[in-house]
Structure 1
Amino acid sequence: MVEVTVTPRCSLADRPVRVRVRGLRPGQAVTLRARLADEQGEEFQSRAFFRASQTGEVDPGCHPALGGSYSGVWPMGLFWFLQPNTPFRRLIKRDVAGSPFLVHLEVFDGIELGSQPRERPLASCRAERWYMSRGVQRVPVREGRVRGALFLPAGAGPFPGVIDLFGGAGGLIEFRAGLLASRGFAALALAFFAYDDLPQMLAQLDLSYFEEAAEMLLRHPKVRGPGLGVVGVSKGAEVALSMATFLPQVVATVWINGTSSLHGNPLVYKDDLLIPPIPYCIERILFTELGAMDNSAIFSDPRDPAYSISAIPTQKIRGKVLFVVGEADRSFNSKLFAELAMARMPPENCRLLSYPGAGHLIEPPGSPLCSISSIRGSPRPLVWGGEAQPHAKAQEHSWQEIVRFLELHLGSVIPTKL
């Protein structure tokens, strides 16, 4: 009898699992398919073609895929190379606390190319991919002006604190904070526009709002001070670098594919600070054959002396910064921005991880590459860039390094189990 298994069946979305098929004929050609439906009902699929071993087994961690969504030996290939049935959809977990992604794994006889296989599967099973481990608590945050969600690990604590920021689409995105809490951090997923009663549009970056969030997090009885970490991607990386520069509470910063100058929105702080932005050159927007917007050319050269007043003065940073760059980022010239920021810093205060072939949306390894997607506020889908296999490797490696960096500079943690 043919059997397909995934071990462990329940796991955190950033952790590896093992997929195995047994009971096949030696040399039998088969298709392994993974599929899941997100919270909007959009379906994502991947498939890989294999030839069974002499013992009638297929193990993607040992046996190379001969084609399909990927090729070669990729133990997590069926998960990492999921793609939407509907173009321009991004796989993102919204309800972090309530439910996992349910991934259906099926094995078919022969090569199945279509999204709807012709035959019934020889065997199937289901995997649960969670974004919070057992015991992690999600606490909605609505204190003063601060809006977000705080994820607290199981136990008495205190735990090192981390603020988690996303980018230009706004709203509240929680999946990375849930995974960080599962690693032992008290993680605040922080919204800064287009959420609850916050402004719907981003007019300026008010540093006092982020200072209020940092002070609130450090006051929490389960959060260990005196310093905290910040993780930010895209516009959130610009914010994170500004926080590291001007807020003494921030001692460890992870900057992922962002800028090192203010762009589009000024940075203000009470009456003490105003950094004007470099304006976007929207007339330089390019359009792909698919009708998506390519924003890679809308940024003026930040090295132009006229824009020096817009640079974030990273020479003032006293904490540590980890710069994470996807060299195939089609949103920003992220490597240039990282190098400009690092040139103003003491070498011992910064480190660069730069990944050829990786795109803009570098996320924990449970997230498949999203190279183009629709986002709130954009009239057309945006191009993020990236190539599937190097991007997957970049996510796996960078996530390990991000967690180690935060542990090193905020103190060791004891991760919880699912």
Structure 2
Amino acid sequence: MIQLQVTPEISLADRPVKIHVSGLAPAQLVTLQSSLTDEQGVHFEARAFYRSDEAGEVDLEQAAATGGDYVGVWPMGLFWFLKPEKLFHRLMKRDVMSCPFRFQLDLFDSFQLQPSDKIAPLATCIVERWYVRPEVERIPIKEGRVRGALFLPPGPGPFPGVIDMFGGAGGLIEFRASLLASRGFAALALAYFAYDDLPQVLVEVDLEYFEEAANLLLKHPKVRGPGLGVIGVSKGAEVTLAMASFLEQVVAAVWINGTGFMNGTPLRYKGVHIPYIPYCPECLLITEMGALDNYHVFQDPRNPVHAAAAIPVEKARGEVLFVVGEADRNFNTKLFAEMAIERMKSHGKKNYTLLSYPGAGHLIEPPGSPLCSISPTRGSPKPVHWGGNPEPHARAQEHSWQEILKFLECHLGPTSSL
């Protein structure tokens, strides 16, 4: 009897599963296909071709795909190499609480490049991938000026607190905070523009808003102080670095593909004002695919005229983890990270760690997400080129997420056992 088994069939999106096929003939050629329709109705698929071993089995932890959307040994390849039927569409979980992503895995006989409804699979399995574990509580936050959503793990706590931010599209994105809460952190997904009654356009970084958010999180009875962590990507990483530099509450900061300067918006904090490096829109490139390549829109920070726009990262009291995708096409992330680290070194500081990934793009996310190298974003007239190559990007997401979790737990204290 032919069987397709996925263990476990229900899991968190950042956790690996085991895929095993049995009951085949020795050396039988088969096609494994995963498919998913996201919350916006866009269909994703990935497929790979395998040959069974002498026992008539295919174990994705050991078997190498011979072709398809990937080759080689990729135990999670059917999830990490998903491709959308709609060009430039990003797979992103929007409603983390009410439903999971439901994947259908199909096993087909022989080589099937595009299996149709007329071809019956040999076996099928449904896999649920959740972005929040059961009993995690989501609390909408609308207190003072602060807007967002707080995710609390089950139990009395107290839990280490983390503020989670995304980038220049604004709004409120929750899937990373919900996964952090599922790993034992009290995680505040923080919006800072283009959400609720916040300004629709970010004209300045008012660090007092982020300080208010930090104090709000730390005063929660289930949050363990005295310090907290911050994680941000893109513009959110820029804000993360500023928070680490000025706010004593921040003892662990995770900077993912950001800058070490204020770009496009100034920073204000009490009596401090940091000017910004203007964007250079005339340096914008349009790729052959019709996407916008912003790499040169961000001016060279090494120009002495921009020195005043640097974030004084040498003032950071806590630890800073820099996560770099070296194939980032949004801006020169590696240069910005190296300049920030050099600035810290020049002041005798050693409170930094660098993770740099050749081939990884801008959108380094938890490992449940496939590479998105181009996608539309709010405020852009055309899709934006984020960069990255599928295989190194997948490895970067897997490795960096585990390192981020270890970093936060190391500097904020242990989480509860979940």
AA matched with 2:394: A
| Residue aligned with 1:106, SS | strand
CA distance in 2, matches of 1:117, 1:320: 54
Provide closer, same or farther for how the CA distance between residues 92 and 315 of structure 1 changes in structure 2, counting only shifts above 3 A. same
How far off its partner does 1:299 sit?
Answer: 1.3
The equivalences for 1:10-409 within 5 A come to 10-114=10-114, 116=116, 118-270=118-270, 272-345=271-344, 346-409=348-411
CA distance in 1, matches of 2:115, 2:367: 24
Q: Is the 8 A contact 2:106 2:124 kept in 1?
A: yes
Corresponding residue pairs, total: 415
AA matched with 2:291: A
How far off its partner does 1:118 sit?
Answer: 4.9
| Residue aligned with 1:407, SS | helix
Provide closer, same or farther for how the CA distance between residues 165 and 415 of structure 1 changes in structure 2, counting only shifts above 3 A. farther
AA matched with 1:407: E
Give the equivalent residue in structure 2 for 1:7.
7
How far off its partner does 1:335 sit?
Answer: 0.7
CA distance in 2, matches of 1:143, 1:111: 57
| Residue aligned with 1:296, SS | coil
CA distance in 2, matches of 1:274, 1:116: 60
Q: Is the 8 A contact 1:266 1:275 kept in 2?
A: yes
Q: Is the 8 A contact 2:44 2:85 kept in 1?
A: yes
CA distance in 2, matches of 1:198, 1:118: 51
AA matched with 1:176: R
CA distance in 1, matches of 2:23, 2:29: 13
Q: Which digits, 9 at most, give the CA deviation of each residue in 1:184-243, with x for residues without a partner? A: 100000001111111111111110110110000000000000000000000000000000
How far off its partner does 1:115 sit?
Answer: 6.4
Q: Is the 8 A contact 2:159 2:416 kept in 1?
A: no
Q: Which digits, 9 at most, give the CA deviation of each residue in 1:56-84, with x for residues without a partner? A: 11111111000111000011110111111
Q: Which digits, 9 at most, give the CA deviation of each residue in 1:308-359, with x for residues without a partner? A: 0000011111110000000000111001101111112144200100000000
| Residue aligned with 1:41, SS | coil
Provide closer, same or farther for how the CA distance between residues 329 and 117 of structure 1 changes in structure 2, counting only shifts above 3 A. farther
CA distance in 1, matches of 2:372, 2:340: 27
AA matched with 1:375: T
How far off its partner does 1:376 sit?
Answer: 1.4
Provide closer, same or farther for how the CA distance between residues 9 and 301 of structure 1 changes in structure 2, counting only shifts above 3 A. same
Structure 2 unaligned spans of 5+: none
How far off its partner does 1:121 sit?
Answer: 0.8
Q: Is the 8 A contact 2:2 2:22 kept in 1?
A: yes
How far off its partner does 1:415 sit?
Answer: 3.9
Q: Is the 8 A contact 1:342 1:350 kept in 2?
A: yes
TM-score (norm 1): 0.98
TM-score (norm 2): 0.98
AA matched with 1:134: P
AA matched with 2:388: G
Q: Is the 8 A contact 1:182 1:415 kept in 2?
A: no
AA matched with 1:269: Y
